[in-house]
Amino acid sequence: MFGIMAISFSDIGVALTLAAIGGGLVWLTIRSVKGREVPRRLIFAFVFVAVSLPVLFPITFKERMTPTVKAVFDKIESLPPGSRVLMSFDFDPAMAPEVQPMADAYMRHCLSKGHRVVFMSLWATGQALMTTSLDRVVRREFSQKVNGVDYAVIGYKAGNEGVLNVIVTDIRKMFPTDVNTVPLDSLPIFDGVRSCKDFDLVLTTGGGYPGAKEWVLFVGDPGNVPIASGVAAVTAPLLYPYYPRQILGILGGIKGAAEYEHELVNRYPQFADTPAPGLRMMGPQTLAHLVIMAFIIIGNITYFRSRKKEPV
């Protein structure tokens, strides 16, 4: 009816956010031309605005899968229904905002395809985060799936790569029971499963130690088990030496999660209304990156101006 009516409160918020950040950066650039350094606290303030306002007024983007993400998606797609997937939650609450969206997306994808998933953790904090994900995804969206048949939770075991060193030959030696002290032998999902080698795919989510690298060194390579990984952005470059032969695909940081979520909704429209934290957080991340880039430019202007001022 009236064009102006189509503008929502959120759009105004986005416009104001961009104007506030853009205006502030122009002001700082003018200051830098005069050779003045930007105080740390001012940098912090800009990052705060760039991250927090897009959380209040969401800015969303369309994502396209990069090859490292596509490789993981295609692998899960190509496995026949009923395949066994081992999923490890190797992260803590600090990394969770970045990595847990990947774990949730993996869960949705695997269970939708009819794969049987076993959940474990090499991090003490991973088990509690696993419970959160199980409540949010499996028990809410896949309530028809049966514990012990379609999925199993074997939880956390201390020992880092020592655990992997053992489960690559015998999983029961480290995990005789699931988290509810039910013996693995009485769970149908473990019929014929003796070690990690009996899984069709291992999905590791994490970003620290122990993490994807240890999975490759102690399970993937010695056991010939395909491994895919979802890791914090800072860890992703470290995994490139293992891609694509030792790690078949990598989801790196929020961007990786967003690409995966986007593709999942494309292929499985039933997930259109489920939360997609990866996609939602791309707005704050994009603005934060742009602000950091602006500060790098401002820093260089200040540097060159101050160099000119120096006596020869």
Partner 1 sequence: MRPLTSISRSYVCSLCCLLLTLVLIPSSNNIAFAQADIPDTAAPILPAPATSLVASDHKYDDGDHIDLSWVPSIDDQVMKGTVTGYRLYRITDDSTPVKLAEFAAGTNRYQDNAVRLGRAYVYYLETIAPTGTALSVRTAPLRTEREWINFDRKYLFLIAFIIAGSVIYFIETARRGKKLFIRKIAGLEAVDEAIGRATEMGRPILFIPGIQDMDNVQTVAGITILGRVARVVADYDTKINMPVSRSLVMTAARETIKTAYMAAGRPDAYNDDMVRYVTDEQFGYVAAVDGIMVREKPATCFYLGAFFAESLIIAETGNSVGAIQIAGTAMPAQLPFFVAACDFTLIGEELFAASAYLSGEPKQLGSLKGQDIGKGLALLMILIGTLAATLSAAYDIEFMTNLLNTLTSVFQTNR
Partner 2 sequence: MKRTVPLFITFFVGTLLIVSVFLPPVQSMGENFTLFFDIIAVFAFFLGGGNLVRIHLDKVSRRKKDWGYSLVTLFGFFLVLASGLFKIGNAGGIAASVTASGSWFQTIFERVMNPLSSTMYALLAFYVASASYRAFRAKNREATILLIAAFVILLGRTPFGTMITAWIPDSLSALQVPNMAIWIMSSPNLAGQRAIMIGIGLGVVSMSLRVLLGIERTYLGEDKG
Binding stretches for partner 1 (CB under 8 A): 40, 80, 82-83, 92, 94-95, 125, 169-170, 191-195, 197-198, 207-209, 221-224, 232, 234-235, 237-238
- Our CB check for partner 1 shows the closer of 140 and 194 to be 194
- Neighbouring CB atoms inside 10 A of 107's CB total 25
**Given the rule CB under 8 A, which of 6-14, 103-111, 267-275, 283-291 is the region that contacts partner 2?**
283-291
Nearest to 291 by CA among 52, 14, 25: 25
Q: Examine residue 66 and tell whether it contacts partner 2 (CB under 8 A).
A: yes
Burial 205-228 (b: 16+ CB within 10 A, else e): bbbbebbbbbbbbbbbeebebbbb
Beta bridge partners of 86: 118, 202
Residue 113 CB, nearest approach to partner 2 (Å): 26
Q: Examine residue 288 and tell whether it contacts partner 2 (CB under 8 A).
A: yes
- Using CB under 8 A, pick the residue from 51, 83, 141, 148 that binds partner 2: 51
Q: Examine residue 153 and tell whether it contacts partner 2 (CB under 8 A).
A: yes
Q: For residues 246-265, which are near partner 2 according to CB under 8 A?
A: 253, 255
Which string of DSSP letters, residue by residue, matches 174-212?
Answer: H-SB-TTS-BGGG-GGGTT--SGGG-SEEEEEESSSSSH
- Our CB check for partner 1 shows the closer of 132 and 274 to be 132
Q: Which does 61 bind (CB under 5 to 8 A by kind): partner 2, partner 1, none?
A: partner 2
Q: How many residues does the chain have?
A: 312
Q: Examine residue 96 and tell whether it contacts partner 2 (CB under 8 A).
A: yes
Residues 55 and 48: their CA atoms lie apart, in Å, by: 11
